[in-house]
Structure 1
Amino acid sequence: MFGSVETVSADDVLTRKQQAEKVHLIDVRTKDEVDSGKIPGALHIPLHELPERMSEIEKGKEYILICRSGNRSGKAAKLLKQNGFKVLNMSGGMMKWKGERE
């Protein structure tokens, strides 16, 4: 669906967090969407700001991209991958997230 960008399920992300794995998350939803709750610790970079804000992301880390349903985060993941970042797209987005929100 998103070329060569791999996906990870919301349940897998939750499991990683519960096992105290260091998970790096980027939420690409709008401010209004994030104001209704995001995954604790996720970095908020709206999709439209991503090209200008790539300098905030470390190339040596793996990031999981998140949006409402997985479509915008798929676009964001593809863009980051094309720029040398290691990324995964959280399939189903926040619609599938069952963990806590901040």
Structure 2
Amino acid sequence: MKRLLGLIVLLVLMLAACGSGEYETIAIDEVSAKQEAGYTVLDVREPYEYEEAHIAGAENKPLSALREEEFSGLPEDRQYVVICQSGNRSQEASAILHEAGYDVVNVSEGMSSWEGDVE
């Protein structure tokens, strides 16, 4: 029984190590470090939400545009930290962008949890 359990654990670890090609998800308090490392913050809220307040230096590309495969203005050679208001839209946007070949990191929370400076 121990051997079977060990084999199952090993199999799970091997599958996890292979990765699913998914994107990384980070907490809101890791966003600044990613920005300092050269990532571009991509705010996927609607323009009126973005204009109310957004992280300094963030770019806006609404999820509604990404759903239509509207990627203009998003160079593929950049790394993006994807954020929204609560974490739901950024998750969908990250999946869309990842599928399109972009290097993305999703923020599990959103602007509702952001405590840093805003523009």
Alignment TM class, shorter chain as reference: 0.7 to 0.9
- 1:7 matched to 2:9: no
Q: Which residue identity does 2:27 align to in structure 1? A: S
Partner SS state of residue 88, structure 1: strand
Q: Counterparts of 1:5 and 1:29 in 2: how far apart (Å)?
A: 19
% identical aligned pairs:
37
Which amino acid in the other structure matches residue 31 of structure 1? P
- How many residues end up aligned between the 2 structures? 98
Partner of 2:37: 21
Q: Deviations over 1:23-64 (max 9, x none)?
A: 301101012211220001111111111245313112222101
Give the structure with the larger strand fraction.
1
Task: Tell me the TM-score normalized by structure 2.
Answer: 0.74
Letter in 2 for 1:90: V
**Structure 1 gap ranges (5+):** none
The answer for the alignment partner of 2:74 in structure 1 is 57
> Residue type of the partner of 2:57?
G
Structure 2: distance between partners of 1:99 and 1:23: 17
Q: Which amino acid aligns with 1:10?
A: I
Alignment counterpart, residue 48 of structure 1, candidates 64, 75, 79: 64
**By how many angstroms is 1:16 displaced?**
4.0
Residue of structure 1 in register with 2:112 after alignment: 95
Q: 2: distance between equivalents of 1:73 and 1:67? A: 5
Could you list the structure 1 runs, at least 4 aligned residues long, displaced by more than 4 angstroms after superposition.
none
Q: Which runs of 5+ in 2 are unaligned?
A: 1-20
Equivalent residue, structure 2, for 1:33: 49
- Equivalent runs, 1:74-85 vs 2, <5 Å: 74-85=91-102
Amino acid at match of 1:56: G
Higher RCO (CA-CA < 8 Å; seq separation 6+):
1
Partners of 1:60 and 1:15 in 2: how far apart?
A: 19
Max radius of gyration: which structure? Answer: 2
Q: Which moved more, 1:64-73 or 1:4-13?
A: 4-13
